[in-house]
Structure 1
Amino acid sequence: MSTLQLGRRGLLALAAVLCVSPAAYAQDIPRQDPGRCKGQPEIRPLQPLQVVTQRGRASFQVEYADSERERQYGMMCRRSMAPDRGMLFDFHKPQNLAFWMRNTLIPLDIVYIRADGTVLSIVRNARPLDETPLPSNGAARAVLEIPGGRAAQLGILPGDKVVHRIFAGG
């Protein structure tokens, strides 16, 4: 939907969402030249995470981003990511979120996760460097970023279960 179609009420609602989203927080981080992009180092130690789908369990080793700074920088400036790696962003409380791809050089699948560990929605193959807000379409506690295309390869769908220590039973 274009901004012309949103109308005044829609623009105010969109502005409210963006004001609490990671995209809004990252506005303090300037755009960088992709050739000289500097992000955060890998967040250690890596943590195990699984996604339970109708096809079975998919296992990942993820960086765990739970501080504001770690969430702001996320996967910015990374030039590659192994197929079994990812980053889990923990917002601690469910909220409407919107991510963008500022300074992000690789395509990503963005998996929004409810507080109970259920996949809420998925943005598939988010385009590198695109600053279009990519909304969760509901309240999410966490976000899993994995290499672009992996969600489709593994059959990850809304309603699937994410197993990690931050979710009950994980």
Structure 2
Amino acid sequence: MTCINHRLLRLLAGFCLAALAATTSLAQDAPQRLRSIPLQAGMHVIEAELALTPEQRQIGLMHRRDMPLNHGMLFVFESPQVQCFWMKNTLLPLSIAFIGDDGAVVNITDMKPLDETSHCSQKPVRFVLEMNQGWFAKKGIKAGFKLSGAPWQR
């Protein structure tokens, strides 16, 4: 009797784990939508979703098929470090700006959809802003340009 109970328990545990894995997989295939804040880039207003937790930052803009003009995602880290990003499961071509504690852009690079090449900040930063590819160039935003908004107010 106990042998049968152990087999049954193992079988049920296996089904539960499989169901949990399937649910987790489905949840990860859907784009996340996060709370957003306005940022200022000169006369341009950016509506930036905030990726604050490790899980939010890991998912980022994965699985999105489009993003409105002047919208992006601001990744906020606890401390300045060299930050590196890739485009795993990210369908949109993006431009990424690495931003210092004072709101100044350190460097900007373009990233291709689904490319797993790392794109890194040239120095330690706590903020990273992803926008539709070409957004920064079209607005004349380059290294040294200062963004403003709640993250950089003291």
Could you say which TM-score interval applies, normalised by the shorter chain?
0.7 to 0.9
Displacement of 1:148: 0.6
Residue identity matched to 2:83: L
How many residue pairs end up in the alignment?
128
Instruction: Determine if the alignment matches structure 1 residue 102 to structure 2 residue 92.
Output: no
Contact kept, 8 Å, 1:109 with 1:122, in 2: the verdict is: yes
Partner of 1:142: 127
Partners of 1:146 and 1:62 in 2: CA distance: 9
What SS is found at the alignment partner of 1:161? coil
- Normalising by structure 1, what TM-score? 0.71
Structure 1 portions without partners, runs of 5+: 1-31
Report matched runs for 1:79-98 at 5 Å: 79-98=65-84
Report matched runs for 1:27-46 at 5 Å: 38-44=29-35, 46=36
Contact kept, 8 Å, 2:45 with 2:70, in 1: the verdict is: yes
Which of 136, 143, 150 is 1:158 aligned to?
A: 143
Partner of 2:41: 51
Displacement of 1:40: 3.8
4+ aligned runs moved over 2 Å, structure 1: none
RMSD of aligned alpha carbons: 1.5
Partners of 2:105 and 2:125 in 1: CA distance: 9
Displacement of 1:144: 0.3
What percent identity do the matched residue pairs reach?
Answer: 39
Partner of 2:153: 168
- Normalising by structure 2, what TM-score? 0.78
